[in-house]
Amino acid sequence: MNKRNLFYITYSLLVFCVLLFLAIPSCRNVPSDPGRPHPNKRPDTRLSNLPVNDSTGQYIREGRIPEKTLQWIGDDEDGFIIAYRVRWTDSTQIGINTTLWTTILNITSLGEERLDTLILVQGSPASIFGIYNFFATFDPEPRAKAERDRIRDSLATGRPFAVPYHSGVVPGDSVVGASPLNFEAPTKGSFIFASPGPRNKHKFEVKAIDNNNVEDPSPAYTYFWTLPSDTPIVTISIAPTTLSYVLRYPTEKNPGLNFAFGAIDPSTSDIVFSWAVDTLLAPETTLRWSPWSPEPTAVVTALDLRLTQTPRDTHMFHVRARNRWGVVSRIVSLIFLARVPPIDDPSWPRKTLIINDNRVSGSGSVDSNLTRAFYSDIMNSLMRDPLTDTLITAYRIWTVITGANTSSFPPIDTLVHYTHVLLLVEQPLPLIGPEVNQRRIETNRQGILRRYLNVGGNLIYSGTPNIKSAILPYNAWASEIFHVQPPPNENIFPLQNTQPDFVRAIGIEGYQDIRFDTTRFPDSVGIRSIAVNYPIGFGRAISLFDSKRDSVGFENAPLGVRYLGVAIPPARKTFSVVHFAFPLYYALRDDVFLALRKAYVDIQSGD
Partner 1 sequence: MNTRTNLLPFGGENTFLVNLRSLEARKAGDIRLPIYANLNAIRRNPDGDIFNCLDTLYWNARDSALVLGQTYAPPDVLTTLDLTITAFPFVTFFNGFFTQPILVEVPPQLAALQRLPAAGQSPLNIKIEENRLTRVTVTFDLDSSLVRKAETFEYRPKFYVSSVQIF
Q: Which residue lies nearer to partner 1 by CB, 24 or 146?
A: 146
Name which of 170 and 508 has its Cβ closer to partner 1. 508
Residue with smaller CB distance to partner 1, 118 or 151:
151
Q: Contacting partner 1 (CB under 8 A), which of 1, 22, 100, 146?
A: 146
Q: How far is the CB of 141 from partner 1 (least distance, A)?
A: 12
Which helix (H) or strand (E) covers residue 135, if one does? helix 128-136
* Rounded least distance, CB 574 to partner 1, Å: 5
- In terms of Cα–Cα distance, which of 553, 557, 562 is closest to 602? 562
Residues 460-499 binding partner 1 (CB under 8 A) are none
**Cβ at position 602, least distance to partner 1 in Å:** 13
Cα separation, 421 vs 411, in Å, equals: 13
- Rounded to a whole number of angstroms, the minimum distance from the CB of residue 582 to partner 1 is 18
CB of 146 to partner 1, least distance (A): 6
CA distance 603 to 457: 10
Which residues from 209-228 bind partner 1, rule CB under 8 A? none
**Which residues have a Cβ under 8 Å from the Cβ of 306 and sit 6 or more positions away?**
277, 278, 279, 282, 315
At closest approach, how far in Å is the CB of 357 from partner 1?
27
Spatial contact of 452 and 416, defined as CB atoms under 8 Å apart = yes
β-strand pairing of 420-425 with 351-356: parallel
Rounded least distance, CB 549 to partner 1, Å:
21
Provide the minimum distance between the beta carbon of 231 and partner 1 in the complex, in angstroms, as a whole number: 36
Which of the residues 495 through 554 are near partner 1 (CB under 8 A)? 534-541
> Does residue 16 bind partner 1 (CB under 8 A)?
no
Give bridge partners of residue 74 from the DSSP assignment. Answer: 45
Q: Which helix (H) or strand (E) holds 132?
A: helix 128-136
In terms of Cα–Cα distance, which of 376, 375, 288, 280 is closest to 335? 280
**Residue number with CB closer to partner 1 (324 or 562):** 562
Cβ contact 274:291 at 8 Å: yes
Tell how strand 220-226 and strand 96-98 pair up.
unpaired
Least Cβ distance, residue 195 to partner 1 (angstroms): 38
Q: How far is the CB of 537 from partner 1 (least distance, A)?
A: 6
Distance (Å, rounded) from C-alpha 104 to C-alpha 125?
13
Query: Which residues, 234 to 263, sit near partner 1 by CB under 8 A?
Result: 251-253
Alpha carbon distance 39, 44 (integer Å): 16
- The sign of the torsion formed by the CA atoms of 62, 67, 69, 70 equals positive
Pairwise CA distance, residues 34 & 36, whole Å: 6
CB closer to partner 1, 383 vs 566: 566
Q: Of all helices (H) and strands (E), which one includes residue 271?
A: strand 271-278
**Pairwise CA distance, residues 21 & 10, whole Å:** 16
Contact string 544-563 vs partner 1 (x = CB under 8 A)? -------------xx-----
Residue 607 interacts with partner 1 (CB under 8 A): yes or no:
yes
560-589 mask for partner 1 (x: CB under 8 A)? -----xx-------x---------------
Nearer CB in complex with partner 1: 274/574: 574
CA 390 to chain CA centroid, Å, is: 35
Q: Is 451 helix (H, G, I), strand (E, B) or coil?
A: helix
Nearest to partner 1 of 195, 485 (CB atom): 485
Q: Judged by CB under 8 A, how many residues of this single chain contact partner 1?
A: 20
Measured from the CB atom, the residue of 145 and 330 that comes closer to partner 1 is 145
Q: Which is nearer to partner 1, 206 or 561 (CB)?
A: 561
Nearer to partner 1, 78 or 607 (CB): 607
- Neighbouring CB atoms inside 10 A of 480's CB total 15
First to last CA, the chain: 131
The nearest distance, CB 566 to partner 1, in angstroms, is: 5
Nearer to partner 1, 428 or 565 (CB): 565
Of 372 and 540, CB closest to partner 1: 540
User: Among residues 295, 288, 256, which one has the least CA distance to residue 273?
Assistant: 295
> What Cα–Cα distance (Å) separates residue 442 from each residue in 217, 278, 359, 472?
85, 37, 16, 5
Residue type, 84: Y
Q: Min. distance of Cβ 429 from partner 1 in angstroms?
A: 29
As measured in angstroms, the least distance from the Cβ of 558 to partner 1 is 6
> Which residue number, 380 or 556, has a Cβ lying nearer to partner 1?
556
540: burial class by Cβ within 10 Å (0-12, 13-18, 19+)? Answer: middle
Secondary structure E strands in 314-446: 314-323, 332-339, 351-356, 394-399, 420-425
Stretch that binds partner 1, among 143-151, 270-278, 346-354, 362-370 (CB under 8 A): 143-151
Which residues contact partner 1 (rule: CB under 8 A)?
143, 145-146, 251-253, 534-541, 557-558, 565-566, 574, 607
